[in-house]
């Protein structure tokens, strides 16, 4: 399996493989995609990454687990974050359904160790 070199590469790969629902403005708390309801109010927040750079780029990524056990990522941003949009003056976001492996990889790439262990258990110690 190819390990992405950055979170942006990872998210771009997921978008190319699975597609996503592009959200104009902030992501809503409820959205139906391919006949399935994604509802942050009925889901458990697993991990969150928020960053604002000195040049004004803002990223907010939140991984949720639905009551069905399925994972989804809401990621939003403002600025020139390449995986969000081409218009640097617009705030936009995506809602991206994720597999268990995708959720684990996102937690690893964002270095959210405690959240990973809480969601998936302790990995093998080397």
Query: How many other CB atoms are found less than 10 A from the CB of residue 27?
Result: 20
CA–CA separation, 69 and 61 (whole Å)? 19
55 falls in which pLDDT band (50, 70, 90)?
Answer: confident
What pTM did the predictor assign?
0.77
**CB neighbourhood size of 118 (10 A):** 13
Q: Which residue has the higher pLDDT, 85 or 104?
A: 104
Domain boundary assignment for the chain: 7-119
DSSP per-residue codes, 60-110: EEEEEE-TTS-EEEEEEEESS-TTT-S-TTS-EEEEEEE-HHHHHHHHHHT
Query: What's the mean pLDDT when you consider all of the chain?
Result: 78
């Amino acid at each position: 399996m190819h390990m992405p070199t950055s979170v942006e590469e990872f998210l771009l790969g997921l978008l190319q493989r699975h597609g996503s629902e592009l959200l104009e403005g902030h992501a809503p708390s409820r959205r139906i995609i391919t006949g399935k309801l994604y509802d942050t109010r009925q889901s458990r927040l697993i991990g969150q990454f928020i960053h604002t750079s000195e040049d004004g780029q803002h990223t907010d990524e939140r991984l949720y687990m639905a009551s069905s056990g399925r994972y989804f990522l809401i990621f939003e941003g403002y600025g020139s974050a390449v995986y969000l949009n081409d218009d640097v003056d617009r705030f936009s976001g995506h809602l991206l359904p994720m597999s268990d492996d995708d959720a684990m990889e996102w937690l690893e790439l964002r270095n959210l160790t405690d959240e990973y262990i809480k969601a998936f258990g302790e990995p093998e110690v080397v």
